[in-house]
């Protein structure tokens, strides 16, 4: 008898968390657009929350969507790194339930004690981090152990927001948002800087090409990673935007230089590759723009949306879809609908950027960018639903 989709959905980290990330990105944006279009006063569709609608919007896209994507990746990759057995279905059901409880707690925060909301929402990443630590301690390697530091930095941004909501600190909520976005960007600088040139090199070798392969100089990689992490630490420790601006700009320039060395033009016929390059490039551009904005040149909100949509959303979409295809035994070829989704990501980022840079187009571009975002994750969710819920077809890709 064939197994039902639900048990298979809970059989691997990439299945349940990448599935939930796509659905949440879709429905939370639909809710946000409905709020913007239909509200008759402050609150409206968000009368159930204790925080402002803006704070909910920022928090959930950073720590709701972002945490699901990070958890799915790490819970899928860590067993491969350590040659360990994957977790049980019960574990995946429990941690995904914990993630969902956090989303419900935020949305219903007006009816719950503030400390309960904080406790529930802050529980996921420590739970995931503990399992990753237990796996990595079996075969500890510094390049992988640093990921635990990045999880802690992302979680710290979330903690800063909750501390202000609890009334224990002042003016840490907005800083926590920035820490969260920039910590996710630093994670992309690390992971994207590993997988993008490696996957491109492997693809080129499979076509028989042996020269002109991507190069990834270690000093350049180290400098970009250190600069990205330094940006987060400067904000986290309260040094201020001006102290974070210089490492952010340096990281942005280095990331763009690294991308140019990975033969991005060669990948144009392969959507599943060029989306990695484009998202990494957008991460660099977003870091540079944020650093400039912190020094008074340009819009910080525009920079953060380039970073969060073009960089973070683009790279997570690329990695989630590639990992899902590879680990389910399917060819590493993006279905047509998924390739269209890849192409819509930079359009979405540009429209949201334009809303800030040209105020006369604000309302139209906010609406259009939101609709594009919904289209991206609808295409992603529909095209990969059989992957998340269906059986594994063959041995996972070696990549």
Domain count, the chain: 1
pTM of the model: 0.94
Residue 396 lies in a domain: no
Q: What is the CATH number of the domain that holds 9?
A: 1.20.210.10
Sign (positive or negative) of CA dihedral 32, 38, 43, 47: negative
Residue 394 counted as domain residue: no
Residues 208-245: b if buried by 16+ CB within 10 A, e if exposed = eeeeebbebeeebbebbbbbbbbbbbbbbeeeebebbb
Q: Would 399 be classed as within a structural domain?
A: no
CA neighbor of 317 nearest in space, from 251, 371, 383, 396: 383
Per-residue pLDDT tens digits of the chain, which is 399 residues long = 444 545 789 999 999 999 999 999 999 999 999 998 886 555 468 888 999 999 999 999 999 999 999 999 999 998 888 888 878 889 999 999 999 999 999 999 999 999 999 999 999 999 999 999 998 888 777 788 898 999 999 999 999 999 999 999 998 999 999 999 999 999 999 999 999 999 999 999 999 998 999 999 999 999 999 999 999 999 999 888 889 999 999 999 999 999 999 999 999 999 999 999 999 999 999 999 999 999 999 999 999 999 999 999 999 999 999 999 999 999 999 999 999 999 999 999 999 999 999 999 999 999 999 999 999 999 999 999 999 998 888 654 545
Radius of gyration of the chain (CA): 20
The answer to whether residue 254 is domain-embedded is yes
Does 37 reside within a domain? yes
Answer whether residue 395 is part of any domain.
Answer: no
**Residue 383 falls inside a structural domain:** yes
Q: Is residue 398 part of a domain?
A: no
DSSP 170: S
What range defines the domain where residue 263 resides? 5-389
Which positions ≥6 away from 243 have C-beta within 8 Å?
Answer: 234
């Amino acid at each position: 008898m064939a197994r039902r989709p639900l048990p298979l959905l809970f059989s691997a980290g990439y299945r349940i968390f990448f599935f939930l990330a796509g659905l949440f990105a879709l429905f939370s944006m639909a809710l946000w657009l409905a709020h913007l279009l239909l509200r008759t006063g402050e609150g409206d569709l968000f009368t159930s929350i204790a925080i402002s609608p803006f704070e909910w919007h920022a928090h959930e896209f950073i720590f709701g969507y972002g945490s699901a994507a990070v958890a799915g990746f790490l819970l899928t990759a860590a067993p491969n790194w350590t040659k360990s057995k994957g977790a049980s279905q019960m574990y995946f059901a429990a941690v995904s339930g914990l993630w969902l409880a956090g989303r419900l707690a935020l949305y219903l925060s007006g009816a719950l004690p503030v400390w309960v909301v904080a406790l529930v929402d802050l529980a996921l990443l420590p739970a995931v981090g503990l399992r990753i630590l237990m796996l990595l301690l079996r075969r500890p390697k510094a390049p992988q152990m640093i990921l635990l530091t990045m999880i802690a930095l992302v979680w710290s941004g979330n903690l800063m927001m909750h501390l202000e909501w609890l009334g224990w600190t002042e003016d840490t909520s907005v800083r926590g948002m920035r820490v969260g976005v920039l910590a996710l960007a630093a994670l992309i600088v690390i992971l994207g800087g590993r997988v993008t040139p490696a996957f491109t090199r492997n693809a080129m070798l499979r076509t028989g090409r042996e020269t002109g392969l991507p190069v990834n100089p270690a000093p350049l990689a180290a400098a970009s990673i250190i600069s990205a992490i330094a940006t987060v630490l400067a904000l986290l420790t309260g040094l201020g935007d001006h102290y974070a601006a210089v490492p952010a700009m340096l990281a942005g320039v280095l990331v763009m230089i690294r991308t140019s060395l990975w033969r991005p033009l060669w990948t144009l016929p392969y959507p599943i590759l060029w989306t990695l390059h484009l998202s990494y490039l957008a991460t660099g551009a977003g870091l540079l723009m944020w650093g400039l904005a912190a020094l008074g040149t340009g819009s910080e909100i525009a920079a953060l949306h380039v970073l969060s949509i073009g960089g973070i959303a683009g790279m997570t979409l690329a990695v989630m879809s590639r990992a899902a295809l590879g680990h389910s035994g399917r060819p590493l070829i993006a279905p047509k609908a998924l390739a269209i989704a890849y192409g819509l990501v930079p359009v979405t980022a540009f429209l949201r950027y334009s809303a800030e840079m040209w105020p006369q187009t604000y309302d139209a571009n906010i609406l259009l960018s939101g609709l594009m975002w919904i289209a991206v994750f609808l295409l992603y969710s529909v095209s990969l639903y059989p992957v998340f819920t269906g059986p594994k077809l063959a041995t996972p890709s070696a990549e």
